[in-house]
Amino acid sequence: MTYALELERVSVEFPDGDGVVKALDDVSMTIDRGAFVAVTGPSGSGKSTLLAVAGLLLRPTSGRVMLAGQDVTGSSRSRSTDLRRERIGFVFQQPHLIGSLTAMEQLEMVARLSGDLSAQMRERAMHLLESVGLEAVANRRPAAMSGGQRQRAGIARALMNDPQLLLVDEPTSALDHERGVEVIDLLRGITKDQGTGTIVVTHDLATLGEQDEVVRLADGRMQEPVFA
Ligand SMILES: Nc1ncnc2c1ncn2[C@@H]1O[C@H](COP(=O)(O)OP(=O)(O)OP(=O)(O)O)[C@@H](O)[C@H]1O
């Protein structure tokens, strides 16, 4: 059984004056396919750094990163870009949708960028919009969507490449509590249905469910896992 993601004794150091700051300090974690893990911790505790390492945007100073059982720690920039495009989905705090494109076109754009805007990919886009509850607004541009709908469009877009790993950064920070809970429920459902390994960085513990695994970071170190 391979994990969607394994971090093995990962440390990340940044230069800081004469010394270094350890943004991550000997962090090990495994994310199963179909596992939903929330990562929380105070400002500066290393959450963004963890997502950057998991998303192959930043090489750790030491330790190993394994994606679907494959050691990808030393991957070149272009290999990392390919791996991201093929295997990883990102959902950001703000969905960064393109103002001139409809919800459907935002998803089609992903297929177009991978050189595969086939009828099958168009169907996939529509299916994903349906699965996030956006079929009624598929032809609307972002300006005519609510904040929650825009975040859902961003989530659907992140799933276009059928990722094994879904990395989500503060998805509820721009939403009210109720919409935030809905977005977390949606991400949990997607994780189960699509079998992604999902990491959600969040400050917003109130949007999580009792069953959710929560990893706490403090000063770059992982605290003992607990449940919400
Ligand atoms: N590019 C960088 N250069 C130098 N130091 C950095 C860099 N990126 C992060 N750090 C430092 O590493 C530590 C962890 O930062 P990180 O951004 O991962 O924390 P965070 O938990 O995501 O914080 P926040 O909740 O405020 O986004 C902090 O001390 C930060 O100042």
If one residue of 10, 40, 45, 61 were mutated to test the ligand 1 pocket, choosing by the most ligand atoms within 8 A of its CB, it would be: 45
CA of 47 to the centre of ligand 1 (A): 8
First to last CA, the chain: 27
CA atoms 138, 141, 147, 150: torsion sign? positive
Supply φ then ψ for residue 207, to 5 degrees: -85, -10
Is the pTM here over 0.90, yes or no?
yes
Which sequence spans correspond to the domains of the chain?
Answer: 5-98+164-227
Tokens of residue 105, six digits? 């076109």
CATH code assigned to 5-98+164-227: 3.40.50.300
Six-digit token pair at 179? 């919409």
Distance 48 CA to ligand 1 centre (A): 7
The residue behind tokens 């998803």 is 107
* Best of 27, 48, 53 for a ligand 1 pocket test (most atoms within 8 Å of beta carbon): 48
Give me the amino acid identity at 37.
V
Per-residue pLDDT 10s for the chain (228 aa) are 689 999 999 999 999 999 999 999 999 999 999 999 999 999 999 999 999 999 999 999 999 999 999 999 999 999 999 999 999 999 988 889 999 999 999 999 999 888 888 899 999 999 999 999 999 999 999 999 999 999 999 999 999 999 999 999 999 988 899 989 999 999 999 999 999 999 999 999 999 999 899 999 999 999 975 555
Backbone conformation region of residue 40, classed left if phi is above 0, alpha if psi is from -120 to 50, else beta: beta
